Amino acid sequence: MVKNLKSIIFVAFAFMSCSGISQQKKSDNKKSYVVQKTDEQWRAELPNMSYRVLREAATEYPFTGKYNTHKGEGVYTCA
């Protein structure tokens, strides 16, 4: 009985110690920098629709888009 209890405690401790390692931040290695461009430079670089959405916030109202209730599988990314 005591042997089983020790085994259970050991396994529980091992799981808890491993879960702490997986939750550490991994973004410490990434360097960030500020991008400063004029509107003319952004217009030259981006397609028209991308410029309007990314720089002028030209998006539809919340919960009104055609993909609001879309349940299809796939990879969805953010700009």
d(CA 60, CA 52) in angstroms, rounded, equals 12
Q: What share of the chain is helix, strand, coil (3-state, %, to 5)?
A: 50, 0, 50
pTM of the model: 0.45
- pLDDT, tens only, 3-51: 777 778 877 777 676 666 555 566 566 788 899 999 999 999 999 999 9
What is the per-residue pLDDT for 36?
A: 93
d(CA 50, CA 56) in angstroms, rounded, equals 9
Looking at this protein, which amino acid is placed at residue 33? Y
Note the Cα 8 to chain centre separation in Å: 36
Show me where the domains of the chain are located: 37-61
Q: Of 23-27, 35-39, 57-61, 63-67, which range is least confident?
A: 23-27
